[in-house]
């Protein structure tokens, strides 16, 4: 007799506790079997059903026959920065049903004082074509499942544990645009905060970064996650921002600022504006003045990021972007601080020496791009 399961089973690790309980009852088991499944997946990090020894053999067999899968990530390499402030991991997603490779993603453990932050990827590649970002060269390949996002988190947590520490924060700032994979990203964050999981990281310690996907920002403002929002602004007027971030042609700065204000009004959390300083592009005195003006009505923090130059061959346009001089960085920072009441910080990205800093995550995908059936997502 065919067994009917109302919840897809292709990504067990990406299912919430109540969904696992529903699966258990759909398969004729008591609901607590779903809690046991969750523990195996998120505490013991089981890689297959056979190892879940406190589950009845028949239940495991029925799960397998119903198509239950736990797609994992294979660690290909890891590299630590010379400063000891970042460790980058390269993961392979394995093969699809057609035998083609699904691609590779990178994740970074960031070490900063008492904080241990997991910087996670949400997509293989990215559709948004930001001209200064290495990930953009890959184009959009595929969205990650929630389980694949959570698996990155577990691997970084294991690295922190190996050091005698634990993860404290999560930032969705790796490869991809998180708000173009909204359902899977928010599911992964809910799993990270689950009270019966191993991590139990609260929404106040989570941040979702976006290049400016206005509908996604508004949707997130209505979500119960209450995570932090970081917006990659990177220019102060539409002409420049549209050149370096094509998403601005659809949602210009005025629309983006209105969405940021809505987010604060609904969540009561200050928005963080990330602003990459590129020599003679976004670091002019006029930029500092305009940045103070356009953020004046939004409770926010402004995080200045000196541009992390890309390796030769990874530039996405005819223009080669450069990091400003130290003197120019100091001048811009002083001018902005004098012009605004908001908190202004300047962050030298961790992991520049291992290409793990902001905008540097990139992996060439060999056969995955030709194999993927999904079309690039519009902004």
d(CA 334, CA 329): 9
pLDDT higher than 90, residue 29: yes
Least confident of 89-93, 153-157, 218-222, 361-365: 361-365
Tell me phi and psi for residue 53, to 5 degrees.
Answer: -70, -20
Rg, Å, the chain Cα set: 21
pLDDT higher than 80, residue 375: no
pLDDT value at position 194? 86
Q: Where in the chain is the domain with CATH 3.20.20.70?
A: 74-371
**What is the four-CA torsion angle of 346, 351, 352, 353, rounded to 10 degrees?**
150
Task: Express as a percent the part of the chain with pLDDT over 70.
Answer: 88
Among this protein's residues, is 222 annotated catalytic? no
Which of 126, 187, 300, 358 is flagged as catalytic?
A: 358
Neighbours of 320 (CB within 10 A): 10
The CATH homologous superfamily to which domain 74-371 belongs is Aldolase class I (3.20.20.70)
CATH of domain 12-65: 1.10.150.530
pLDDT value at position 358? 45
pLDDT value at position 77? 94
d(CA 108, CA 207): 15
Neighbours of 26 (CB within 10 A): 16
Which of 106, 151, 274, 309 is flagged as catalytic?
A: 106
Among this protein's residues, is 358 annotated catalytic? yes
pLDDT higher than 90, residue 268: yes
Question: Confidence band (pLDDT; 50, 70, 90) for 320?
Answer: confident
d(CA 100, CA 369): 10
C-alpha triplet 109, 111, 114: angle, nearest 5° = 130
**Token code pair at residue 151:** 């698996």
Question: Confidence band (pLDDT; 50, 70, 90) for 147?
Answer: very high
* 345 within 8 A of 302, measured Cβ to Cβ: yes
Mean pLDDT of 242-248: 97
> For residue range 207-239, what is the model confidence (pLDDT) as tens digits?
999 999 999 999 999 999 999 999 999 999 999
Question: Confidence band (pLDDT; 50, 70, 90) for 3?
Answer: low
Q: Where in the chain is the domain with CATH 1.10.150.530?
A: 12-65
In 3D, which of 77, 98, 96, 97 has the Cα closest to residue 88? 77
pLDDT value at position 348? 73
pLDDT value at position 315? 54
pLDDT value at position 318? 62
pLDDT value at position 313? 55
Burial class (CB in 10 A: 0-12, 13-18, 19+), 314: middle
The strand pairing partners of 345, in sequence order, are 303
Mean pLDDT of 68-78: 92
Mean pLDDT of 351-358: 45
pLDDT higher than 60, residue 344: yes
Buried b (16+ CB within 10 A) or exposed e, 166-195: ebbbbbbbbbbbbbbbbebbbbbbbbbbee
Burial class (CB in 10 A: 0-12, 13-18, 19+), 210: buried
pLDDT higher than 80, residue 196: no
In 3D, which of 41, 54, 47 has the Cα closest to residue 192? 41
Question: Confidence band (pLDDT; 50, 70, 90) for 195?
Answer: low
> For residue range 32-43, what is the model confidence (pLDDT) as tens digits?
999 999 999 998
């Amino acid at each position: 007799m065919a067994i009917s399961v109302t919840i897809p089973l292709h990504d067990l690790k990406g299912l919430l506790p109540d969904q696992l309980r529903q699966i258990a009852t759909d398969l004729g088991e008591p609901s607590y079997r779903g809690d046991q499944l969750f523990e195996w997946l998120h505490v013991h990090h089981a890689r297959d059903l056979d190892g879940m020894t406190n589950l009845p053999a028949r239940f495991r067999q029925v799960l397998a026959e119903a198509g239950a899968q736990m797609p994992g990530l294979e660690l290909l390499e890891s590299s630590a920065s010379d400063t000891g402030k970042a460790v980058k991991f390269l993961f392979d997603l394995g093969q699809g049903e057609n035998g083609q490779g699904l691609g590779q993603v990178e994740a970074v453990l960031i070490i900063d004082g008492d904080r241990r932050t997991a910087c996670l990827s949400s997509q293989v590649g990215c559709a948004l074509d930001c001209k200064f970002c290495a990930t953009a060269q890959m184009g959009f390949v595929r969205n990650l499942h929630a389980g694949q996002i959570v698996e990155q988190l577990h691997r970084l947590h294991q690295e922190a544990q190996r050091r005698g520490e634990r993860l404290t924060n999560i930032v969705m700032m790796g490869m991809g645009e998180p708000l173009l994979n909204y359902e899977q990203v928010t599911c992964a964050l809910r799993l990270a905060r689950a009270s019966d999981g191993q991590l139990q990281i609260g929404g106040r310690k989570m941040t979702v970064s976006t290049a400016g996907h206005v509908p996604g920002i508004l949707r997130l403002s209505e979500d119960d996650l209450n995570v932090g929002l970081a917006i990659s602004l990177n220019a102060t007027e539409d002409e420049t921002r549209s050149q370096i971030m094509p998403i601005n042609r659809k949602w210009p700065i005025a629309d983006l600022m209105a969405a940021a204000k809505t987010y604060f009004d609904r969540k009561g959390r200050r928005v963080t504006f990330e602003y990459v300083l590129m020599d003679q592009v976004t670091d002019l005195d006029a930029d500092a003045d305009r940045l103070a003006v356009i953020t004046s009505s939004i409770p926010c923090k402004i995080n200045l990021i000196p541009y992390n130059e890309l390796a030769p061959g990874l530039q996405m346009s005819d223009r080669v972007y450069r990091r400003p001089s130290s003197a120019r960085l100091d001048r811009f920072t002083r001018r902005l601080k004098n012009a605004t009441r908001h908190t202004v910080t300047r962050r030298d990205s961790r992991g520049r020496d291992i290409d793990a800093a902001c905008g540097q995550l990139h992996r060439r995908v060999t056969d995955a791009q030709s194999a993927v059936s999904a079309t690039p997502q519009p902004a």
